[in-house]
Structure 1
């Protein structure tokens, strides 16, 4: 409960601060423009990063089991009837992804235990051999379907969908606990994804009972969608500022014979008071959270099958080597921005040091 309460509090704090991030970037652009005496536009518009594929494209087909009445009744030997009845109830037929996952993670170890029990009992009761063969088929079916079930339960859920929505808000300016808050939620899904390998320890009953709590925490988080918008805004800002600096240098040298002057002092002040104290910390926060966010999803997805459209989508979001991807543009804009400041300072015989 304390984790859920902390997420609620964090959400309230972020709501008050998220809009300030875009204002800071606008102010940074304006201050650089004034210092250079060069117009630099700040009209980022809507986030142009790709939309998450529709749910129907993200869902992987999972063939269900169909038991005959006699076969189902025979499973009473393994105390599986309550679980089967739960799945076939009216509520069981419309389970949410979190509930489906919870059910499957309860059913598979139960039917595996049934297989082990029947394997021992068939030695003295040969009449149970057909039932053992059927249970073995069920175990094999469930094990093979588990990676698809896990994928569907995580990435076709509403809770995960909203992490990749086109949020109008960026990350807040100050969110020192951002990674820890996300870790408290995503680590559970990383653990679940590892179950698809069939060699990971099965979670205990307490973990299974808390699964829906992790989904609720994920639903209340906004950091994923905010990070996407922050990367877009930062990329746009750095491109605009870099182009403004380059245009100003091409138009007229700022310093004569690389000697500092009054304008270079103004530029230094903007760099020191705005870039170093406001822009750079926000850039670092966004980059650090992005590295964790990207690594966490890679840890989840490496054990799971991905539908083609989802694989293409995550390349466009997370792969910095893919031309035109969100992170490719971000890294390229950061290099352009850094190089522009270095060139600007060198024209006045100054050095930006290690701040960049």
Structure 2
């Protein structure tokens, strides 16, 4: 009998563990929504996950590049200034299979090295050919950056939209935020000081925050709007003033202060703060010329439409609460 009890206890504990969600923020919002429904004695329809623009496939995003051909690579001046060795390394067996970050690193190094080489070239024909090569590389620079964003495993992992939202207690993301910001400054033609862009790859790959941030904006916007509608559509059930029973109003105040002000609002503010930290980099990314397939994603997350909707939803939710409390002459904070 004792063994049977132990087995039943173990099964019970495993069952409880299995019920735990892997997305505590969603659970928090759902709990807040359900508590409001209980107090208002109102139906709480199941939440419909909002449609979000997915990150398109690589093949729909990668842009072609014009091949560079130089017939004077063995010229003495190009050997002396390092351009010959740079191109030879790129054309080696390892260089030909380099990933997107190493390809970008090469392109940036080519531009920097060619700019330094040009004044040293005395032969007019070599000078002209190098000028043309440099002009092409400068012209394609942003496309190479875009292809790194669109096609590298590190950036795909960063930009892909997961099924989960940001955790309630946001971990420190300072290294990832700093790295993303540094990468975005390439679009301002800032030089990479004393380091290679490949040095940023690990941080971008391992600290994945952008996708979860974007999902959080869209998901929590929809939750807030549905929760706001629940309050607005059932306000008439809240009696206040005179000789009315104010029990429901008092219970609503408890939900407001304990669950919204105490839990939901601080979390929403942390999500907002993370987006504002990232926003300057996203604004720079949005200056890139991108394929039509990327337009919906770009508008929502790089150009800030999802964030604007998020802020509007937070403000609308606060307004709904304020209207209710004003009607019942409840002073917030008291």
**Alpha-carbon displacement from aligned partner over 1:29-52 (angstroms, at most 9, x marks no partner):** 12211222222234344x521012
Aligned to 2:316: 336
Greater Cα offset, 50-59 or 274-283: 50-59
Distance in structure 2 (CA, Å) of the matches to 1:221 and 1:149 = 23
Unpaired segments ≥5 residues, structure 1:
1-15, 123-127
Structure 2 counterpart of 1:102 = 105
Instruction: Report what 1:203 is aligned to.
Output: 192
Give the 3 Å change call, closer, same or farther, for CA 44–222 of structure 1 in structure 2.
farther
Instruction: Say whether residues 1:73 and 2:58 are aligned partners.
Output: no
- CA deviation vs aligned residue, 1:252-295 (integer Å, no higher than 9, x gap): 34325596712211111111111111000011111121222232
Q: Which residue of 2 aligns with 1:33?
A: 37
**8 A contact 1:101–1:149 mirrored in 2:** yes
CA RMSD of aligned residues (A): 2.6
> Is the 2:187–2:285 contact (alpha carbons within 8 Å) kept by the matching residues of 1?
yes
Q: 1:185 aligns with which of 179, 182, 193?
A: 179
Alpha-carbon distance in structure 1 between the residues aligned to 2:314 and 2:103: 43
- Secondary structure at 1:142's aligned position in 2? helix
The TM-score normalised by the length of structure 2 is 0.84
| Contact 2:238–2:248 (Cα < 8 Å) also in 1 | no
Structure 2: stretches of 5+ with no match in the other structure: 1-19
Q: Deviations over 1:215-237 (max 9, x none)?
A: 21111122111112222231122
Change (3 A) 1:311 1:352: same
Equivalent residue of 1:49, what SS? coil
Work out the CA distance in 1 between the residues paired with 2:120 and 2:101.
29
Distance 1:143 1:102, change over 3 A: same
- C-alpha distance in 1, partners of 2:212/2:114? 42
Output one character per residue of 1:62-113: Cα deviation in whole Å (capped at 9) or x when no partner: 2111234xx2222435432221221112222222110011111222221222
Query: Paired residue for 1:270, among 224, 237, 255?
Result: 255
- Judged with a 3 Å threshold, the aligned counterparts in structure 2 of structure 1 residues 88 and 290 are, in CA distance, closer, same or farther, namely same
Q: How far apart, in 1, do the equivalents of 2:278 and 2:245 lie? A: 43
Among 155, 160, 167, the residue aligned to 1:160? 155
- Give the C-alpha shift of residue 167 in structure 1: 0.7
Matched, 1:346 2:326: yes
Aligned length: 313
Aligned to 1:133: 128
2:219 corresponds to 1:233: yes
Question: Residues 249 and 17 (structure 1 numbering): CA distance in 2 closer, same or farther, change over 3 Å?
Answer: closer
CA contact (8 A) 2:185 2:284 kept: no
1:282-334 Cα offsets, whole Å, 9 max, x none, are 111111212222322112443x43333334431133445xxxx5334423432
Residues 150-174 of structure 1: CA deviation (Å, up to 9, x unaligned): 2222343222222232211111111
Q: Which structure carries more relative contact order (alpha carbon 8 Å, separation 6+)? A: 1
- After superposition, residues 248-327 of structure 1 pair within 5 angstroms as 248-250=234-236, 252-255=237-240, 257=242, 261-302=246-287, 304-319=288-303, 325-327=305-307
Alpha-carbon shift at residue 130 of structure 1 (Å):
1.7
Asked whether the equivalents of residues 32 and 270 of structure 1 are also in contact (C-alpha less than 8 Å), the reply is: yes
**Distance in 1 separating the partners of 2:300 and 2:58:** 18
